[in-house]
Amino acid sequence: MRLARVETPDGLVTGEYRDGAVYADNGVHEATVEELHPPCEPSALYCVGRNYAATIDSMGYDVPDEPDFFIKPPASIIGPGDDIPYPTFSEQVTYAGELAAVVDRRCTDVTPAEVPDVVRGYTVMNDMDALDQQGRTARKAWDASGPLGPWVETDVDPVAEPIQMSTDVADERRQEATTELMLFDAHEVVSYLSKRFTLRPGDVVAFGSPDNPGQVEPGDEVAITYEGVGTLRNTIV
């Protein structure tokens, strides 16, 4: 099932998205994908880096012994179809097409085997990065640096069945991989973070990106697809 959020005269509602509409408890609301809101309201976005061997090789990083994570604030989130303003403080901006889990219930200290019981489903995130800034927080955490969507797919499990992904920038294929290539799988990452943080409903855990060559410029559309989950499209302006 695709769980999506849309604005209505009665406020934001959540329901199943199919046939160009959100089927919610208070009725059916027609909406294009671009009219959908971000699929959740997290207290934080927990993002894992250096989780694909190809990325480590291309960047010259050491292979981590445990998930290497950072946090983006809720202010970084925008939805499907929303524009990404090119940050005025940077001249080197890149993208990263990532699979992300959305937490369903408050939890802490869960085992990898318990993760499917605490995750609502999976969505797509673009981990934007201002490469010329000092420090990971300055590079990663800024307004609109975390496009998210278009919905939460509840019927996939990237550990039980690996997911193929691709990223196109201005119609050029930039990324192509499978979640099977992750160093730490989705269940391991959520478990690891839950031993350090109390995860709350709506929180997002992103699992890193394969090698992402090149940068983005104003006018580029970034389209990230995880098969069976969805395609997230946003344009740099």
Domains of the chain with bracketed CATH:
1-37 (2.30.30), 40-235 (3.90.850.10)
Q: Are 16 and 3 in contact (CB under 8 A)?
A: yes
6-39 residue pLDDT tens: 999 989 999 999 999 999 999 999 999 999 999 9
35-89 residue pLDDT tens: 999 999 999 999 998 898 765 555 556 777 899 999 999 999 999 999 999 999 9
pLDDT higher than threshold 80 for residue 112:
yes
The pLDDT of residue 28: 96
β-bridge pairing 204-206 and 97-103: antiparallel
The pLDDT of residue 63: 76
The pLDDT of residue 204: 98
- The single-letter code of the amino acid at 45 is L
148-192 residue pLDDT tens: 999 999 999 999 999 999 999 999 999 999 999 999 999 999 999
The pLDDT of residue 212: 82
Q: Is the pTM of this model over 0.85?
A: yes
The pLDDT of residue 117: 98
Name the token pair of 45: 């976005």
Closest by Cα among 206, 191, 202 to 48: 206
CA 5 to chain centre: 16
Q: Are 174 and 215 in contact (CB under 8 A)?
A: no
Q: Are 231 and 225 in contact (CB under 8 A)?
A: yes
133-143 residue pLDDT tens: 999 999 999 99
Distance CA 177, CA 5 (A): 29
Burial class (CB in 10 A: 0-12, 13-18, 19+), 165: buried
The region, left, alpha or beta by phi > 0 then psi within -120 to 50, assigned to residue 202 is left
The region, left, alpha or beta by phi > 0 then psi within -120 to 50, assigned to residue 203 is beta
